[in-house]
Structure 1
Amino acid sequence: MMSPKDVVHRWVEAFNRADADALAALYADDAVNHQVAESPVSGRAAIRRMFADEFASADMVCLVENLFEDGEWAMLEWRDPLGLRGCGFFHIVDGRIVFQRGYWDKLSFLRAQGLPLPNN
């Protein structure tokens, strides 16, 4: 069985290939992915769609700065080539991600990617 750190290493590899199918395969059927700048996404199929949509709209790269493991949890500090930084927390049970929470600056991401800014 893969350790939480091993699962996150595979997650980063799949993310950097923009491979929504490989990413989805790392999640439990009823997993939740909550990027705090967005609404939570529930279920493997919905998480796959989320990644596919994101990869279609932006060129994203995850560069690992730190990766820690504690029991069933892995904590990832990352950056991208455009200067964005963030962190993710992955709860992993039996080799599958059951919960993920990520923190990053959505406004900086939109600006760096040249995407439309929200109207507030």
Structure 2
Amino acid sequence: MNPRDVVAAWVEAFNRADADSLANYYSEDAANHQVAEGKVKGRDAIRRKFRQEFAAAEMTCIVENIFEDGEWAILEWKDPLGLRGCGFFHIKEGKICFQRGYWDKLTFLRQHGLPIPE
């Protein structure tokens, strides 16, 4: 699969809240760095992180754009509550080896009624 197709399939798994399928899109030693949080390293840690996130809040990713440039795909997204963000995915041999995401964590926590850290 090319990077654009990997990200499109990733979005489908994300919208099913399917942490196992999501994890399978990552290489064994992948890193996922959501800039509002710390970096998560390794497929198993990424799987655990998605499980935690799906247990904490109902999330939906509405694709606005997916761009592809070589081994990279860029996802612009929004959710039904109005939050917007973007993600950068470095994909080699059909697997995500690095992901970085930008979104407003404070808005997300408020929208979902989650505790705001001090």
With the shorter chain as reference, the TM-score category is: over 0.9
For 1:11-45, what per-residue CA distance to the aligned partner results, in whole angstroms no more than 9, with x for missing partners? Answer: 00000000000000000000000000000000000
SS where residue 96 of structure 2 aligns? Answer: strand
Give 1:25-44 correspondences, 5 Å limit.
25-44=24-43
- Aligned-residue offset at 1:57: 0.4
SS where residue 110 of structure 1 aligns? Answer: helix
SS where residue 101 of structure 1 aligns? Answer: strand
TM-score (norm 2): 0.99
SS where residue 67 of structure 2 aligns? Answer: strand
SS where residue 116 of structure 2 aligns? Answer: coil
Q: Is 1:118 the equivalent of 2:117?
A: yes
Q: How many residue pairs were aligned?
A: 118
Q: Give the corresponding residue for 1:76.
A: 75
Give 1:56-75 correspondences, 5 Å limit.
56-75=55-74
Identity %, equivalent residues:
72
Q: Give the corresponding residue for 2:13.
A: 14
- Aligned-residue offset at 1:88: 0.0
What is the CA RMSD across the aligned residues, in angstroms? 0.3
Q: Give unmatched runs, 5+ long, in structure 2.
A: none
Q: Give unmatched runs, 5+ long, in structure 1.
A: none
1:31 & 1:117 partners in 2: Cα distance?
A: 28
